[in-house]
Amino acid sequence: MSDPHYLLGHAPAELARLQRQGALFEDITRESLLAAGLQPGWRVLDIGCGAGDVSLLAAGIVGGTGSVIGVDRSADAVAAARARADAAGAVQVTFHAGDAARLDEIAALRGLPAFDAVVGRFVLMHQADPSATLRAAARRLRPAGVVVMIESAFSACVRGYHSAPHAPVYDRIVSLITRVIDASGADAGMGFRLRPVFAGAGLPDPALRLGACIAGGGDPSVRQFIVDSARAILPAGMALGVVGADEVDLDAIDAHLDAEIAASNGVLMSPPLVTAWARTPVLDARGRTV
């Protein structure tokens, strides 16, 4: 596909799933934003904000003296994000519908001061030209502003190493999800490609970090995440013709996976998340990097 898009849509059930996903990766995301240098009082732009998880985390860091603007293509996602911000009393956060690759077309962003940081999670993997999207976002930054991108690397869930003891049912689900993501035109391994994407956007070589969630026993978080993801993506896989209607029974797989982990007293690792961050160059009067 020449124009990848978010193949799961933004129906209420999907927005609820995104919030559960956000809760699973909340600690990793907060730690990544802090490591990248976000500070109280900063102005932050969140591209591809979805239901607002990263925007609200950033708001907690920048505090009442800072501000966060979230942008997403989906008006439904923006409406859900606004409702969450209102419920949380996060008055420093606003949301606007628009394409992250065409920020200049969003009227609410015109005339604003330059941002101190641009952040995004699981957004570049859905872009036809991720470097161009990142370049458009970086243009909204002040000199020495921070770009922070967090992307998953589903393709890094290597058979035999994403669970201990090895869980064949988990391997089957991860393989199915990866297959559908790639067939949609999105990039299941974007996390490992962030460095060249930053280079293509004209940004300095980024700092990189890797994180993942691991759980087992009485903590069903990773198991629920992967089954949730499979349940959401299966119809798209059938529509794309890469998953047969009778290939997987998710209710049965959920029960089998639960039994498999209980019997082995094992653990599951989520797909890893890669964070990349860099500061925009500071130029002298002649346009040379300082």
CATH homologous superfamily for 12-279?
Vaccinia Virus protein VP39 (3.40.50.150)
Residue 288's CB: how many other CB atoms inside 10 A? 9
- CA–CA separation, 223 and 6 (whole Å): 23
Q: So what's the pLDDT on residue 1?
A: 35
CA 288 to chain centre: 33
Q: So what's the pLDDT on residue 3?
A: 46
Where are the domains positioned within the chain? 12-279
Q: So what's the pLDDT on residue 161?
A: 77
Start-end of H helices in 184-246:
194-200, 221-240
Beta bridge mates, 141 = 115
Report the helix count and the strand count for the chain, using DSSP H and E.
9, 10
Contact 3, 23 (CB under 8 A): no
Q: What is the mean pLDDT of each run of 10 residues along the chain (290 residues)?
A: 53 83 94 97 96 96 97 93 95 95 91 96 94 96 97 82 87 88 90 97 96 90 91 86 76 84 90 96 60
Q: So what's the pLDDT on residue 10?
A: 66
Cα–Cα separations (whole angstroms), residue 143 to 12, 114, 146, 192, 211: 39, 9, 9, 27, 29
Contact 171, 163 (CB under 8 A): yes
